[in-house]
């Protein structure tokens, strides 16, 4: 008997109804999938037969519980899906968050700061479970799956090569032709198709911010900073003397960082501004210091995506910080992706469709 409770439905399935822009004139749009491997969320994008795109999102988290009759009964009664791993009952994704809240426990997270967590020995098998659930099996052996990887960070010494290799092999073992794409490059693929994939893509995630400058789809500069939503939460919690989860709650509750209403919101606004300015300063410095950079004659757009860009007033504060620096490239529109949480997954799908 298989000790798995079926009915593992995706938490947030967001049919966008929109065809990935670059697929318009292709007839073989159906094959190829996109996978966003994020610290906070995993998202898989697939083109349906009618040309619409479905993105399945699941929290990158799990909770393990002792395997005894009492716990099994409890999970069954609560209708919480679980699997058995190393003699423990494991609940994955959003369900893990809900259960953790009920029992006052902390979920375990397979990734930290944009990469597979070195402190979490169960990270890979747990991520394999979540990825299988949202990505499904290849519709054809060797169907391509483009998954995102961060660029090396400028502020910490992290091992992107190891991380990329692990997921390359995990996705390949599932029967896909696994190809990696830089996370911010994926934002350019999903948001800047009309600009001929020229411009700046920024992914403000939980663990990192990734930046990419591309000219006609070719990246000429990409880097990441190991600061993102988690970094804001950690610092806010530190200066206010509260728990990190409280800071996350306050931040996601609906703060407007242009107009903080109290001491907590003030702290959130300060770290947001600092993060945005830090990213902009680094694009400027790297662009000016880089060799063989293209000269952009026409203004380029800046597209922001990722959960951290969802806070109220984000784009306005971004524009404000932008106006304070002498940016090396002429810039046109600065905007947030319409669906900021699933933009990277959609970009990976576009990359898969056009074979990059």
Ligand X SMILES: Nc1ncnc2c1ncn2[C@@H]1O[C@H](COP(=O)(O)OP(=O)(O)O)[C@@H](O)[C@H]1O
Binds 133: which of Mg ion, ligand X, none (CB < 5-8 Å by kind): none
Binds 311: which of ligand X, Mg ion, none (CB < 5-8 Å by kind): ligand X
Does residue 205 belong to the site contacting Mg ion (CB under 5 A)?
A: yes
Residue nearer to Mg ion on the CB measure, 29 or 135: 135
Residue nearer to ligand X on the CB measure, 34 or 205: 205
| Residues binding Mg ion: number (CB under 5 A) | 2
Binds 32: which of ligand X, Mg ion, none (CB < 5-8 Å by kind): none
Give SS3 for 127. Answer: helix
Place of tokens 């290849």: 138
Binds 34: which of Mg ion, ligand X, none (CB < 5-8 Å by kind): none
For 282-289, which contacts have Cβ atoms below 8 Å and span 24 or more sequence positions?
Answer: 282/154, 282/211, 282/223, 282/225, 283/200, 283/211, 283/213, 283/221, 283/327, 284/325, 284/326, 284/327, 284/328, 286/154, 286/221, 286/223, 287/213, 287/221, 287/328, 287/329, 288/328
Residue nearer to ligand X on the CB measure, 198 or 308: 308
Does residue 207 belong to the site contacting Mg ion (CB under 5 A)?
A: no
Tokens of 267: 């702290």
Q: Residue 69 CB: number of other CB atoms within 10 A?
A: 7
Helix axes 229-240, 263-289, angle to 10 degrees: 140
Helix axes 314-323, 263-289, angle to 10 degrees: 50
Minimum gap (Å) between residue 297 Cβ and ligand X: 32
Q: Which residues bind ligand X (CB under 6 A)?
A: 38-41, 205-207, 229-230, 248, 251-252, 306-308, 310-311, 341
Minimum gap (Å) between residue 314 Cβ and ligand X: 8
Binds 210: which of Mg ion, ligand X, none (CB < 5-8 Å by kind): none
Binds 39: which of ligand X, Mg ion, none (CB < 5-8 Å by kind): ligand X
Q: Which stretch binds Mg ion (CB under 5 A): 36-44, 99-107, 158-166, 224-232?
A: 36-44
Residue nearer to Mg ion on the CB measure, 81 or 205: 205
Q: Is the dihedral of CA 90, 95, 101, 107 positive or negative?
A: positive
User: Among residues 124, 60, 69, 64, which one has the least CA distance to residue 94?
Assistant: 60
Residue nearer to ligand X on the CB measure, 109 or 138: 109
The Cα–Cα gap between 147 and 3 comes to 30
Does residue 229 belong to the site contacting Mg ion (CB under 5 A)?
A: no
In this chain, which residue has its C-beta nearest to ligand X?
229
Q: Which stretch binds Mg ion (CB under 5 A): 30-38, 96-104, 129-137, 170-178?
A: 30-38
Residue nearer to ligand X on the CB measure, 40 or 302: 40
Tokens of 173: 């073992």
Minimum gap (Å) between residue 297 Cβ and Mg ion: 31
| CA angle in degrees (0–180, nearest 5) for 123-129-130 | 90
Residue nearer to ligand X on the CB measure, 33 or 59: 59
List of E strands, the chain: 12-15, 33-37, 41-47, 53-59, 62-66, 83-85, 88-92, 111-112, 115-116, 144-149, 177-182, 199-204, 209-215, 218-225, 300-305, 331-336
Minimum gap (Å) between residue 171 Cβ and ligand X: 17
Binds 308: which of ligand X, Mg ion, none (CB < 5-8 Å by kind): ligand X
For 126, how many CA atoms within 13 A lie in the half-sphere containing its CB? 28
Residue nearer to ligand X on the CB measure, 8 or 55: 55
Beta bridge partners of 331: 300
Residue nearer to ligand X on the CB measure, 83 or 344: 344
The Cα–Cα gap between 40 and 156 comes to 19
Binds 310: which of Mg ion, ligand X, none (CB < 5-8 Å by kind): ligand X
The binder of Mg ion chosen from 10, 34, 35, 38 (CB under 5 A): 38
Residues that bind Mg ion (CB under 5 A): 38, 205
């Amino acid at each position: 008997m298989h000790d798995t409770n079926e009915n593992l439905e995706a938490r947030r399935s967001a049919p966008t109804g929109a065809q990935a822009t670059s697929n318009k004139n292709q007839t073989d749009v159906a094959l190829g999938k996109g996978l966003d491997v994020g610290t906070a969320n995993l998202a898989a994008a697939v083109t349906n037969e009618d040309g619409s795109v479905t993105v399945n999102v699941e929290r990158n988290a799990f909770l393990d519980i002792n395997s005894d009759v009492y716990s099994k009964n409890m999970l069954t009664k609560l209708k919480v899906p679980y699997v058995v791993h190393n003699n423990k009952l494991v609940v994955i994704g959003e369900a893990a968050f809900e259960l953790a809240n009920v029992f006052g426990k902390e979920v375990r997270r397979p990734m930290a700061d944009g990469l597979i967590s070195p402190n979490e020995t169960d990270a890979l098998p747990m991520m394999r479970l979540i990825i299988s659930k949202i990505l499904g099996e290849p519709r054809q052996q060797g169907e391509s799956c483009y998954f995102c990887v961060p660029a090396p960070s400028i502020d910490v010494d992290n091992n992107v090569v190891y991380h990329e290799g692990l997921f390359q092999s995990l996705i390949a073992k599932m029967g896909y032709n696994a190809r990696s794409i830089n996370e911010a490059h994926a934002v350019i693929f999903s948001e800047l198709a009309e600009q001929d994939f020229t411009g700046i893509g920024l992914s403000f995630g939980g663990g990192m911010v990734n930046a990419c400058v591309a000219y006609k789809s070719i990246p000429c500069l990409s880097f990441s900073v190991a600061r993102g939503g988690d970094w804001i939460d950690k610092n806010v919690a530190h200066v206010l003397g509260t728990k990190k989860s409280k800071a996350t709650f306050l931040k996601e509750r609906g703060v407007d960082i242009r107009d903080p209403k109290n001491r907590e919101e003030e702290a959130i606004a300060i770290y947001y501004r600092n993060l945005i300015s830090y990213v902009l300063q680094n694009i400027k410095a790297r662009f000016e210091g880089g060799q063989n950079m293209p000269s952009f004659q026409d203004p380029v757009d800046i597209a922001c995506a990722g959960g951290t860009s969802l806070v109220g007033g984000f784009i306005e504060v971004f524009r404000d910080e932008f106006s304070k620096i002498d940016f090396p490239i002429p810039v046109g529109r600065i905007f947030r992706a319409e669906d900021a949480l699933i933009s990277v997954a959609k970009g990976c799908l576009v990359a898969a469709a056009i074979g990059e």
